[in-house]
Amino acid sequence: MKKKLIFLFFGFLLGFINVQAQTEIEPNNSFGSATLLIDNEDMQCSFSDNTDVDVFKINMSADSIYHIYSADNSLPSSMNIEMFFEGDTTLNILNGSPNGRAGNGNFRIAGWSPQEYGSGVYYVKLTHAPLITGDYTGDYKVRLISQNLDEWANLHEPDNTFQEAFGQFPLPVDGSRLAVWFLI
């Protein structure tokens, strides 16, 4: 049976900024050869042919929240994303599909390590969109951002009084998404 919801989807508006760039290390088609995703650095990637599978490794801590997303996707369609814990690389821990969630064929997920697993190594596995009828090649970037949960909890504190709240940054009240550029 699938684990209960592991990754919650957040409406944070994030984008790529000028950060250091890494390049995926091929072959990274298996868990054993996964490329390590580094916090707050762009990972330059590509699907070089229809047999390419890209697996990335993330060292996740139970005291942090994570945001993983792709950008600048030049593939013909959104890629397929799955996520696994090192203790069971047969069980996709994502419920639902974040494929294409970030628009323009990009995925976006955010959340924290599952309580039953906790801190450890997790894998993001990217594969071709299903039902490929032609070449599925192109470039894309992946980015990982983490934030300590205590920092999130205190993001808008102190706001115990109106006076204190007025001293904090404004939160959107028009239904728009909270931009968190300032956290990066």
- With contacts defined by CB under 5 A, name the span among 44-52, 58-66, 132-140, 146-154 that binds Ca ion: 44-52
* Contact call for residue 59 and Ca ion (CB under 5 A): no
Residue 176 CB neighbour total at 10 angstroms: 9
Among 28, 35, 64, 146, binds Ca ion (CB under 5 A): 28
Query: Which residue has its beta carbon closest to Ca ion?
Result: 54
104 closest CA partner among 131, 130, 156, 69: 69
State the minimum distance, in angstroms, from the CB of residue 48 to Ca ion.
6
Among 7, 54, 60, 83, binds Ca ion (CB under 5 A): 54
Residues with Cβ < 8 Å from 44, sequence gap 6 or more?
A: 21, 22, 23, 24, 139, 141
State the minimum distance, in angstroms, from the CB of residue 178 to Ca ion.
33
* Contact call for residue 73 and Ca ion (CB under 5 A): no
Q: By CB under 5 A, how many residues form the interface with Ca ion? A: 4
State the minimum distance, in angstroms, from the CB of residue 181 to Ca ion.
29
Among 43, 52, 99, 111, binds Ca ion (CB under 5 A): 52
Structure tokens at 153: 């909890």
Query: Alpha-carbon torsion 86, 32, 26, 75, what sign?
Result: negative
- Cβ-based nearer residue to Ca ion, 13 or 25: 25
List C-alpha distances in Å: 106 to 54, 75, 137, 172: 15, 10, 14, 25
The answer to whether residues 61 and 113 touch, using CB atoms and an 8 Å cutoff, is: yes
State the minimum distance, in angstroms, from the CB of residue 55 to Ca ion.
7
State the minimum distance, in angstroms, from the CB of residue 93 to Ca ion.
21
Structure tokens at 54: 């890209």
Binding site for Ca ion (CB under 5 A): 28-29, 52, 54
